[in-house]
Structure 1
Amino acid sequence: MPKIGRLHRRITRSSRWEALNRDAKGVYSDYARFKHKIKKEIGLSWSMPVSYLQQWGLPDGGWSAGQFLATPGLDWELFHSERLGTGSLQVSYTLVDYPWRQTAADIAENLGVIAPINDLPGNGEDSFAQLTYTHALPGNKLLLAIG
């Protein structure tokens, strides 16, 4: 079933990477096979990108800010029918944490800038980035996303 949106593109890239590594030995190949099995049996696929960004500023000094950003997402194909089409649910969450003494907002204040230095400048910026139901009619004649 074709899907639309940033979450779907991210999960598709993740699935392609897993396909390339499915035959590799070790823990990751076991995990990739497990994800493939779950997707095949119940239609559930997911990704969990995590990043760390170190941010520095100066004029009034202070500590650097370190931002952990996690953006888990899942796509669950609820049903697939020749008569009704395909229905799926997409969920994506954004989790931001600055575990050290300063946040990006503190760095921006130290620098005296008006605009934030990134899109998620402080703790508590967590949110559901996407909650969508997608329905594709048979033959993909119409694709409808609600969310």
Structure 2
Amino acid sequence: MKSRVALMSLSGFLIVGMANAAGEVCTAKISDIENQIRQAREQHNDNRVQGLETALQQTRANCSEAGEQAKLEQRRADANAEVAEAQRDVSKAQRTLDQAKSEGRSAKKIADRQQKLDKAQRKLSERKAELKALGSM
């Protein structure tokens, strides 16, 4: 039962994720809720049906393609800002490492600086992946 609910939730996220790319977010949300209602009825889960019907009514009343597109654009802008910040962190870490090497710092200091650079590069890669998942780059 729990795995079925988890699978339904995952499928809902996938539908909404695919709809983001197609620009049909509200339609996908409504379709996902309707599917969940059918499944809840099959399982005779009246409380879940009631909750989902309320969610369906609210989604139909409040969801707009323009609103969903605006949310997506804001997430993209936020992700772009995070990528830019991560790039600055990588540049700073690289400068610090280069400076430590040129000044002949101890091997421990250089290793510490290298670890900071590696961490900054991983963070940058993660931020770029998040941005790519939002359909931008």
TM-score (norm 1): 0.29
Structure with a larger share of its residues in strand: 1
Q: Larger C-alpha radius of gyration, 1 or 2?
A: 2
